Structure 1
Amino acid sequence: MAKSFEDFKLNRQILNAIADAGYTEATPIQEKAISPILAGQDVMGIAQTGTGKTAAYVLPIIMKLKYAQGNDPRALILSPTRELAMQIEENIKTFAKYTDLRTVVLYGGLGPKTQKAQLEQGVDILVATPGRFLDLYLEGNIVTKQLQFLVMDEADKMMDMGFIGSIHRILEVVPRKRQNLLFSATMSELVHKIAGDFLKFPTVVEVAPQATPAETVKQVLYHVPNLKTKLNLLQHLLKNDEEFSRLIIFCKTKNVADNIFGFLTRRYGEEQVKVIHANKGQNTRINSINAFKDGAVRILVATDVAARGLDVTEVSHVINFEVPIIIEDYVHRIGRTGRAFQTGEAITFCNPAEEYYIRKIEKLIRQQIPVEDIPEGVFVEETPYEERQAIAREIDLQKRKENPEFKGAFHEKKNPKPAAKKPEKASAASKRLQAKGNKPSSSVKGGFKGNKRGR
């Protein structure tokens, strides 16, 4: 039976804030992590997104910091993306509402002036992306002497994004005596390495096997031959307004995201659809996410920049319009639905070149994704020549990755010409004849002519 938050040694202010937020039972990761963190242990938590891991470390940190004190941060929470940093800040504000603890969030994409002013007013909990934290630290705006907690959230994403150098620099400038917490959805080699540098004899808390999608998410796979058919299938599914009430459509590239956004706005209008990717300004992204959270927008089209740290309850569906190349991102994408005990559905469209990644994803999540036939009402388009070539090239690359000996359809000559015969060396007898000035007989010459005429 799930534990109630009343079972933990949390003070009344925190319990009241939890009750206000509508939570009664702890999730498995909260049940396993809160007590060892309160006991002062280093913790390594392995749990996919949507399992309540932010609260698992935020609640004990608020409990141990108790109230505002001094000017410098006592807890530093590192996040790979701006979106996740803002999400963590929101969680802290929710659970610390009856305390006077001060939180500042730092991320790039905005001028640092406002962030510097906030730091000057004093801070207890600092939430930051590694790059912006280092910038402001090196300029002398952050003093780390008072740090008691260092948290690394979404450690696997940090490693994917190449933050390992920044993390090592941060470890050099924070006090050695501190409590460390690391949370990750998957345990890659790099996460193992940073955990070794970062944690001292940690308590490992793991909920569900590594990279297993939340049980509350129903998964479906459609084999779709090409882009136009994917659009036809998407249009067909979205006709069901009631079932597809709030959904996120994930794409690999900004270009495809913009094209789908254009396609959907022509059908549903700009009020119902928003798009977020790395080229969109920070304010545009924040406004789009907030409109989606508030329910003003039904469809959010996004690249993987939004796959983590986007905590929106009641997302009915996630549609993977394209299969992610970084296979761990599949787990993070589908973790946007089925959050906090809700149920959801994750639908994936897969063309022949993407089947390679589906096989890898199924290996990672240790389960097969159920396949469904394309519904009858969907028109299956013929694949255009250029797209057919691109898919064949991609499949060739995949085969070569698996087997370096593989030459590929684009490299094999269909009808290799037989090698031309080398002229035979003249025999000793013919050399003697030529020396005497004899010519080949006319009958031979005539024979060739006859053959030519007879062809």
Structure 2
Amino acid sequence: MATTFEDFKLNKQLLTAITEAGYTIPTPVQEKTIPLVLAGHDVMGIAQTGTGKTAAFVLPLLMKVKYAQGTHPRALIVAPTRELAMQIEDHIKILGKYTDLRYLAIYGGVGPKTQIEKIKAGLDILIATPGRLMEIYLKGDLILKELKTLVLDEADKMMDMGFMPQIRRLLEIIPRKRQNLLFSATMHERVEKLSEEFLEFPMKVEVTPSATPVETVSQVLYQVPNLPTKINMLEYLFRNEEEFTRVMIFTRSKKNAENVSKFLDRKIAGATRVIHGNKGQNARINAMEAFRNGGVRFLVATDVASRGIDISDVSHVINFDVPVIYEDYVHRIGRTGRALQTGSSITFANEAEMHHIHEIEKLIKMQIPEAPLPPDIEVTDTGFEEQQEIARDLDKQKRKTDPDFKGAFHEKKERFHEGAIDKRTGRPFQEKKPTKIRSFRRNKS
């Protein structure tokens, strides 16, 4: 087994860049994967996030492509999100700095014109999201007949996001004789079955069981009844400036992301950035860079940022809302405790979200330690709208286990039955007559 990067027989340019990047010894996934990729095998790699998975395929890819040649890309890396595509491009920039290799990440959210111009100028390695890749290919501005290696990163997320039609279309138009690499932190049975479509006799690298959280991340769960109390918890935790130095806060919706961001901005002006699907590409890039460089203390995000974002020294990940795609819990908390560093994950869950917590615990095969709410926390009453939302979620969960369950809202739908009494007026409900719609003829002039 390799104990140093020199043992992989990488060239001097790569070894120099590795040293300058601060890499000392290979991580387990790098140790197992790099020799297989260099030997030309198809590889299915399953490794928890934050273990050096990206370098595990970027390093051998740089070694195989070696130097600039021709006009059309010889290696293609497909990623599900813009952020992950940009992150992979950054890895190639760092590790390939002493090579003359030409690389580019293409993604939506910005116009394709500049990307097309760079493609036509000549490329060796292309990183792409599926939608933008097919858009530019179908325009006739991208030639893929020279491809020798295809990498699918975060393959399970691509399938969850509905990218399989684009992936299947891509497999039809690229050379059949090629090396295929598939990587993810989670690999459920459906993904493994679909991977059989394009992996030929793959070598499976599984350094940890699928969906296993990083051991260096401590986890804690608080049962918090509602959104205002969750906000109070944030305020309480963030008083400790020495401990909560660089924090990622994940929400389920764009609305909650904005609300949390506005609250933090009121309390600590200029310390927060927010990213979600409605933010423009430049705003998202600037927010990520400000957080990475230490310009802001908090980054609030939806799950668009839970995968592939490699930011060092993230002290805490806070799950303000529990994810309903359970694999995303692993990806979220993997933003801290990266590269064998320690980190902390804190999760807030209301009554309805506790169902998802139990499902997540089944997935990660461990119980998330629960702590009582601190006595200083003001527990706010749950507002009417949030009460309804929680009740609806509980109804959905019960219907899944009991098809005959009618739900808390069933009686409201039947309130107009004969003899029903309106509690506000004390009189029977009266069925409303349909409104007549008059038709008017235009006067001919």
For normalisation by structure 1, the TM-score amounts to: 0.89
2:12 is the alignment partner of 1:12: yes
SS of the equivalent of 1:44 reads strand
Matched, 1:57 2:70: no
Length, aligned pairs only = 415
Backbone CA RMSD of aligned residues: 1.6
SS in 1 for 2:175: coil
Task: Using the TM superposition, give the Cα deviation of residue 384 of structure 1 relative to its aligned residue in structure 2, in angstroms.
Answer: 2.5
Write the mapping of 1:184-203 to structure 2, written as runs, cut at 5 A.
184-203=184-203
Residue identity in the other structure for 1:323: V
Corresponding residue of 1:38 = 38
Shift of 1:382: 2.0
Query: Are the aligned partners of 1:80 and 1:154 in contact in 2 as well (CA < 8 Å)?
Result: yes
Query: What is the letter of the counterpart of residue 349 of structure 2?
Result: C
The equivalent of 1:291 in structure 2 is 290
Give per-residue Cα distances to partners, 1:232-289, cap 9 Å, x unaligned: 11100000011000000000000110111111100101x2100000000000000000
Unaligned 5+ segments in structure 1 are 421-455
Matched with 1:144 is 144
Partner of 2:321 in structure 1? Answer: 322
Q: Secondary structure at the match of 2:323?
A: coil
CA distance in structure 1 between the aligned counterparts of 2:194 and 2:126, rounded to whole angstroms = 21
The separation in 1 between residues aligned to 2:93 and 2:385, in whole angstroms, is: 52
1:303 and 2:302 equivalent?
Answer: yes
Q: For residue 400 of structure 1, what is the aligned residue in structure 2? A: 399
Q: Tell me the residue number matched to 2:361.
A: 362
The CA deviation at 1:385 is 3.3
1:182-204 deviation line (CA, Å, top 9, x unaligned): 00121234412331111000000
Query: 1:24 aligns to what?
Result: 24
Q: Residues 313-332 of structure 1: CA distance to partner in whole angstroms, max 9, x if unpaired? A: 00000000000111111111
Aligned residue in 2 for 1:119: 119
1:20-72 Cα shifts (integer Å, max 9, x gaps): 00001111110110001000000000112211111001100111111111111
Matched residue SS, 2:220? strand
Cα distance in 1 between the residues matched to 2:248 and 2:405? 38
Which amino acid counterpart does residue 30 of structure 1 have in structure 2? Q
CA contact (8 A) 1:159 1:190 kept: no
Q: Distance in 2 between the 1:311 and 1:74 partners?
A: 26
Contact preservation (8 Å) 2:2, 2:8: no
Q: What is the CA–CA distance in structure 1 between the aligned matches of 2:407 and 2:143, rounded to whole Å? A: 58
Q: Answer whether contact 2:55 2:91 (CA < 8 A) is retained.
A: yes
Q: Distance in 2 between matches of 1:115 and 1:393?
A: 45
Distance 1:64 1:284 in 2: 35
> How far is the alpha carbon of 1:2 from its aligned partner?
7.4
Alpha-carbon separation, structure 1, partners of 2:2 and 2:338: 17
Query: Taking every aligned residue pair, what percent have the same amino acid on both sides?
Result: 63
Structure 2: segments with no counterpart, 5+ residues: 420-445
Aligned position for 2:234: 234
Tell me the distance in 2 between the aligned counterparts of 1:94 and 1:88. 10
Q: Could you list the per-position Cα deviations for residues 385-440 of structure 1 after superposition, in whole angstroms to 9, with x for gaps in the alignment?
A: 33223212211211111221222333369xx9xxx9xxxxxxxxxxxxxxxxxxxx
Q: CA offsets, 1:67-106, max 9 Å, x none? A: 1111110000000000000000000111111110110111
TM-score calculated relative to the size of structure 2: 0.91
* Paired letter, 2:200: K
Q: Equivalent residue for 1:381?
A: 380
CA distance in 2, matches of 1:276, 1:361: 25
Q: Secondary structure at the match of 1:197?
A: coil
Indicate the SS of the match to 2:347.
strand
Task: Determine the C-alpha separation between the residues in 2 that align with 1:136 and 1:121.
Answer: 15
Amino acid at match of 1:73: P
Cα deviation, 1:99-140, whole Å, max 9, x if unaligned, reads 101101111111111111111211000000111111111112
Deviates more, 1:62-71 or 1:390-399: 390-399
Q: Counterpart amino acid of 1:353?
A: A
Q: Is the 8 A contact 1:103 1:123 kept in 2?
A: yes
The runs of 4+ residues in structure 1 deviating greater than 4 Å are none
Q: Which residue of 1 aligns with 2:409?
A: 410
Tell me the equivalent position of 2:349. Answer: 350
C-alpha distance in 1, partners of 2:365/2:396?
25
**Any idea what the Cα deviations from partners look like across 1:146-166, whole Å, max 9, x if unmatched?**
111000000011011100000
Residue 381 of structure 1 deviates from its aligned partner by 1.4
Distance 1:134 1:43 in 2: 24
